[in-house]
Amino acid sequence: GGMQAIGYGLLVLFFAIGIFRSASSFRDFQRPEHLLRHFIYFVLAKLGITYGMDLLVNIFDVCSGIVATAAGSVGGLTGASVVLPQEIADAIGDLGFLASIPLWLVTLLGSLFITVLAFIMILTVYGRFFKIYMYAALSPVALASFSGEGTSHFGKAFLRSYVGVCMEGAVIVLACIIFSLFASSPPAVDPNAAAVTQVWTYVGELIFNLLVLVGTVKMADRVVREMMGL
């Protein structure tokens, strides 16, 4: 509500700026088409400020439908899991106490890397939701720029950027699905190698796949901009 009040104040300001910037002389104010064009800008901006939240929600619903369709078309994320190969589990079970100490160090280091990468990915996803909330809260200020012909590019840039933020979800979901497919295919491990070597090979490839996933999630905004020009 507070941002709407500011938006209404900017509505009049941008409207006046648009009129005086487009009028080369006072005779232009006597032309009906000149006044009608600016009146249409004013009405559209007024509707955008009043019903801006509904517009943003509808855009979000469309983008969410695209995300849901992308996830559902390949089976979704419900079956995504990482399973330790049976041969590695058997090799670990045959180890004694002293021989398992290096294995503890490898698994501890791998768990630390995986935890950090998971935290970065979760933080990035939550940051995207905060960006959506900020766009929704500040939308009246940006949509008020449509009241002036010379300032309308600010509102267009705002809407393009908002659509881009919403479409980041599709990139994130597809990246998670691709990661789950890679994770469901464990690496080829030499059964004759030491248990520590087998576990390090498995954990190393898992960390590499997680690095690719986190990198894709972090640059989801860049991917959307390059693909769709948003």
Q: What is the 3-state secondary structure (H, E, C) of the chain?
A: CHHHHHHHHHHHHHHHHHHHHHCCCHHHHHCHHHHHHHHHHHHHHHHHHHCHHHHHHHHHHHHHHHHHHHHHHCCCCCCCCCCCCHHHHHHHHCCCCCCCHHHHHHHHHHHHHHHHHHHHHHHHHHHHHHHHHHHHHHHHHHHHHHHCCCCHHHHHHHHHHHHHHHHHHHHHHHHHHHHHHHHCCCCCCCCCCCHHHHHHHHHHHHHHHHHHHHHHHHCHHHHHHHHHCC
Q: Where does the pLDDT of residue 93 fall: very low under 50, low under 70, confident under 90, or very high at 90 and above?
A: low
What pLDDT does 202 receive?
77
Cα(78)–Cα(176) distance, integer angstroms: 11
Q: Where does the pLDDT of residue 111 fall: very low under 50, low under 70, confident under 90, or very high at 90 and above?
A: confident
Report residue 100 as tokens. 């398992």
Between 25-34, 122-131, 181-190, the lowest mean confidence (pLDDT) is in: 25-34
Between 74-78, 152-156, 174-178, the lowest mean confidence (pLDDT) is in: 74-78
User: Could you tell me what percent of the chain has a pLDDT over 70?
Assistant: 75
pLDDT in tens, 143-160: 888 887 777 888 888 888
Residues 6+ apart with CB under 8 A from 200: 106, 110
Burial class (CB in 10 A: 0-12, 13-18, 19+), 201: middle
What pLDDT does 206 receive?
80
Q: Where does the pLDDT of residue 174 fall: very low under 50, low under 70, confident under 90, or very high at 90 and above?
A: confident
Cα(38)–Cα(34) distance, integer angstroms: 7
pLDDT > 70? residue 70: yes
Cα(82)–Cα(191) distance, integer angstroms: 19
pLDDT > 60? residue 80: no
Q: Where does the pLDDT of residue 88 fall: very low under 50, low under 70, confident under 90, or very high at 90 and above?
A: low
What pLDDT does 25 receive?
55
pLDDT in tens, 29-62: 566 666 777 778 788 888 888 888 888 889 889 8
CA angle in degrees (0–180, nearest 5) for 53-57-60: 140
Mean of pLDDT over the chain: 78
Cα(134)–Cα(142) distance, integer angstroms: 12
Between 41-45, 70-74, 113-117, 125-129, the lowest mean confidence (pLDDT) is in: 70-74
pTM over 0.75: no
Cα(18)–Cα(200) distance, integer angstroms: 65
